[in-house]
Amino acid sequence: MTPPLTGARLSVSLAEIAAFIALVEHGGFTVAARELHLSQPGFSGRISRLERALGVRLVDRGVRRLTLTAEGRAFLPRARQIIESYAAGASVANG
């Protein structure tokens, strides 16, 4: 059974989730923003909106490097599942 959402808003976008995954995969805001063809402030805004929606910090923004919080590490596999499920559904819908 899936636990109920506790305080998370239901309007989290796939773009915000995809930005989080890109951030993890590329290891930093600047590179991830560039890969998604976004400005760095726009990309950072997506991560901030996702964190606000979930009510947790997903990343620690250090000067030298970015690290995931415990919540970020826990959310990452779920984020990947969400994007994979969407892609599979879109594939089925498109025939």
- Domains belonging to the chain, first-starting first, are 14-93 (1.10.10.10)
Between 9 and 42, the more confident residue is 42
Query: Exposed, middle or buried by CB within 10 Å (0-12, 13-18, 19+), for 17?
Result: buried
Helices (DSSP H) in the chain: which residue ranges?
A: 14-26, 29-35, 40-54, 70-93
Residues 5-30, mean pLDDT to the nearest whole number? 86
Between 43 and 9, the more confident residue is 43
For the chain, percent of residues with pLDDT exceeding 90: 72
Task: Identify whether the C-beta of residue 83 lies closer than 8 Å to the C-beta of residue 95.
Answer: no
- pLDDT tens for residues 82-95? 999 998 888 788 77
For residue 58, pLDDT over 60 is answered with yes
pTM for the complete prediction? 0.85
